[in-house]
Structure 1
Amino acid sequence: MVASKSDTYVSPEDYLAGEKVSPIKHEYRQGETYAMAGASKAHVIITGNVFALLRNHVQESGCIAYIADMKVRSETSNFYYYPDVAVTCDERDRNTAEDFIRYPRLIVEVLSPTTAAFDRGDKFADYRTSETLQEYVLINQERVSVECFRRNAEGLWVLYPYTQGQEVQFASVNFSCAIASIYQYAIGIG
């Protein structure tokens, strides 16, 4: 969530109707909309790499991986966000014509300087209200650093940090890869 914030209350229904015809994407949080800014080359490459790796991994499992243009919805926290990558394994998301998913298992955000604080703070707090979310991953686009927040059996979120030369694991979808695969062509490794 970046760019400009609207100054008037918008209902979720009006937001969805407007988003269908808007030339730019907006995120929605508690009655306010926020225009989304463009992404850097590294951001786009990293997002594409993660999506391709996850899509290929989950395609036979009944899970679906989505990239940047699929919204995630929560009635509890009253938001619609466009994560960089989201994976849902819930049949309720497959059997709907809605332009959003409600039951993500894994969400990945590639951090940019203007969104990092929000992605780590309020957005993560909002995502944590999802009962189905098992992992929230933050990927730094400026240096090799992947932070995987994983919900444990007690419902607490535990950080699993990864850096250069390590194998990244997303336990929620039984996935692992070399960190270099995530950053390939993005910042001079891989």
Structure 2
Amino acid sequence: MADAVRLTMTPEDFFVWQRDQDELYELVDGHPVPRHRMMTGASMQHDRATVNIIVSLGMQLRGKSCRPTTANISIRTSIRGLRRPDVMVECAPLVPDTYEAREPKLVVEVASPSTTTIDQTRKVEEYKRHPTLAYILLVETLKPQALLYRRIGDDWEIETFEGLDAVIDMAAIGATLAMADIYDGAVFPPRRDLASEG
């Protein structure tokens, strides 16, 4: 692993190297980086939201040209960059032996305390460069809140969704995500009442 990290890899080299690894990596500036470098794995809350999103999108997109994928599938973000979103919607015909999406329309990152900053800054900017992406969705796990980046021509507009009654409409993939579905079975920490603490 140490030798591989020192080498600069192309995505093609990376996919060959990744097959012999015991965990998932991303390719950042030509160097393999463990996907959960700062995590011991995903929490149950993170996992539940991720599975809920896949189930909801999978049911809505069944029989259509777009399908959800897991973090096993990569998105190319630069000549020497590959990321693995928690969920992606791929709209290209299936190629059984490929490891990356060819026409992704949606990427979803479900927040973890150790990855929130990079998800909301560097990764968002990397994702925006992908020519086929229509949406970038960032989902919180400590509260029912999501941030949607929507491509409008050459620009991106941002919309915040809060509360379990909100519904995220993504017409470009022919699907919606109800916040109640994303957070089905989730448990949120009690909100601190700052007024009573004063």
Q: Distance in 1 between matches of 2:176 and 2:16?
A: 38
Q: After TM superposition, give the deviation of residue 63 of structure 1 in Å.
A: 1.0
Q: Secondary structure at the match of 1:80?
A: strand
RMSD (Å), alpha carbons: 2.0
The normalised TM-score by structure 2 is 0.84
Deviation at 1:117, TM superposition (A): 1.4
Match of 1:27 in 2: 26
Aligned equivalents of 1:145 and 1:179: distance in 2?
Answer: 8
2:12 and 2:178 map into 1 onto residues whose CA distance is 42
Alignment of structure 1 residues 102-141 onto 2, 5 Å: 102-141=102-141
Shift of 1:124: 1.2
Aligned to 2:162: 163
With structure 1 as the length reference, what TM-score do the two structures score? 0.87
Alignment of 1:1-190 (within 5 A): 6-37=5-36, 38-74=41-77, 76-91=78-93, 94-95=94-95, 97-152=97-152, 154-164=153-163, 165-187=165-187
Q: How far has the Cα of 1:8 moved from its partner?
A: 4.2
Contact conserved, 1:106 with 1:172, CA < 8 A, in 2? Answer: no
Change (3 A) 1:33 1:60: same
CA shift, 1:77, in A, is: 4.6
- Sequence identity (%): 24
The AA in structure 2 aligned to 1:87 is V
After TM superposition, the runs of 4+ consecutive aligned structure 1 residues lying more than 6 A away are none
Gaps of 5+ in 2: 189-198
Q: Which amino acid aligns with 1:106?
A: L
- The amino acid across from 2:168 in the alignment is V
AA at the equivalent of 2:135: E
Q: Which has the larger radius of gyration?
A: 2
Compute the displacement of 1:131 (Å): 1.0
Q: Is the contact made by 2:90 and 2:104 (CA closer than 8 Å) also made in structure 1?
A: yes
The separation in 2 between residues aligned to 1:138 and 1:28, in whole angstroms, is 21
